Amino acid sequence: MSVLDPHRVRVRVPATSANLGPAFDCAGLALEHHDVLQFSVQPGGLSVEVSGVGAGELPTDESHLVVRAFRAACAELGWTPPGLRVVAENAIPQGRGMGSSAAAVVAGVMGAWALCPDVEVIDLDAVLRLTTAMEGHPDNVAACLLGGLTLSWMGEGGVGADSLTVHEDVLPVVLVPQATLSTELARGLLPDVVPHADAAFNAGRSALLVHALTSGTLLLEGTEDRLHQRQRTAAMPGSLALVDGLRAAGHAAVISGAGPSVLVLGRRTPTGADERPGESEVRAIGELAPEGWSVLPLDVDPTGARVDRPLRQVSSR
């Protein structure tokens, strides 16, 4: 017979794109492109196996980000497993503004919470607080955890987030270069002070962005930004040139997170009887992508991080 294995869980975490143009550090979008990690309690030691993206490059010891997040959650829960095995099947591009570090942190914390024998229900508020502390800001981890379009904030009461449903006509397309860029370097190029007019402009566009994504209209207008994209041109001139070219052609293009990937918020409107909705849109976007860039049309992930317990076979005697 088969029963749920209390010593093993599988966590599926989506890629994310943050900022979405004007909503710097407070908006994120979960995408149907996932890392899948399996956590198992074992008698002792640590075993980390990585396949897919990062295989042979990522550490397989305690310095692995997933393991560090797992340990941080265990410390908060007051629980220490005798040993741990992590098997990661990675698909999210790393160092390209698609939330790979947020996915790793969310996966590790969720894995610990799900395996802890003293926990019956995963506390999403606690998970959000801990993952935000590890990442430094909540936009990517909130989207990874909750799915959909997320709005997140930090204040005296801690960190909070809420998820909204993206209109079915919205078609995210991510253009991924071969080059990588560290978030620290990208953030280091931002000025400490911005003009009041630019701050007011982005506040208005951030509100419009929420309307655009939930209604499927005004996507080009709702993704205009003055605060952070142009200021980072020196770190990713090719990405900004691509954004400019796409926007000039009428596509709602923005830098994905800290870059250098580019996110285009396209539409699924059908244009021909023999085409699937959005097919011509993806083709037009791809024609503007530089050589060597990957073109990934992705659905919005509406649910975010998912946890399930695999079955194990036991004797019926």
Name the CA radius of gyration of the chain, rounded: 20
CATH code at 193?
A: 3.30.70.890
Q: Mean pLDDT, the chain, as a whole number?
A: 93
pLDDT band at 28 (very low <50, low <70, confident <90, very high): very high
Lowest mean pLDDT across 10-19, 52-61, 99-108, 181-190: 181-190
Give residue-wise pLDDT tens across range 209-261.
999 999 999 999 999 999 999 999 999 999 999 999 999 999 999 999 999 99
Query: Do 55 and 149 have their domain in common?
Result: yes
Q: Identify the pLDDT of residue 75.
A: 97
User: Looking at residues 91-97, what average pLDDT do you find?
Assistant: 96
Nearest to 109 by CA among 145, 141, 144, 72: 72
What percent of the chain is modeled with pLDDT above 70? 95
Q: Which of 51-55, 80-84, 100-104, 279-283 has the lowest mean pLDDT?
A: 279-283
Same domain, yes or no: 104 and 223: no
Helix, strand, coil percentages for the chain (3-state, nearest 5): 35, 25, 40
Which structural domain, as residue segments, surrounds residue 277?
170-297
Residue 85, helix vs strand vs coil:
strand
**In terms of domains, do 27 and 114 share one?**
yes
Contact yes or no for 54/258 (Cβ under 8 A):
no
Q: What is the pLDDT of residue 184?
A: 79
* 191 and 307 together in one domain: no
Q: How confident is the model at residue 274 (pLDDT cuts 50, 70, 90)?
A: low
- Domain match, 157 and 20 both: yes
Per-residue pLDDT of 123-149, as tens digits, reads 999 999 999 999 999 999 999 999 999
Write the pLDDT tens digit of every residue in 158-209. Answer: 999 999 999 999 999 999 999 988 877 878 888 889 999 999 999 999 999 9
Tell me the percentage of the chain whose pLDDT exceeds 90.
Answer: 84
**Which is nearest to 101 in space by CA: 224, 227, 9, 186?**
186
Q: Give CA–CA dist 142/36, Å, rounded.
A: 18
Q: What's the predicted TM-score (pTM) here?
A: 0.93
Q: Are residues 109 and 209 in the same domain?
A: no
- Same-domain check for residues 90 and 71: yes
**Counted domains in the chain:** 2
- pLDDT recorded at residue 183: 79
Length of the chain: 317
- Whether residue 1 is predicted with pLDDT greater than 60 in this model: the reply is no
CA distance 211 to 216: 8
One domain, residues 39 and 51: yes
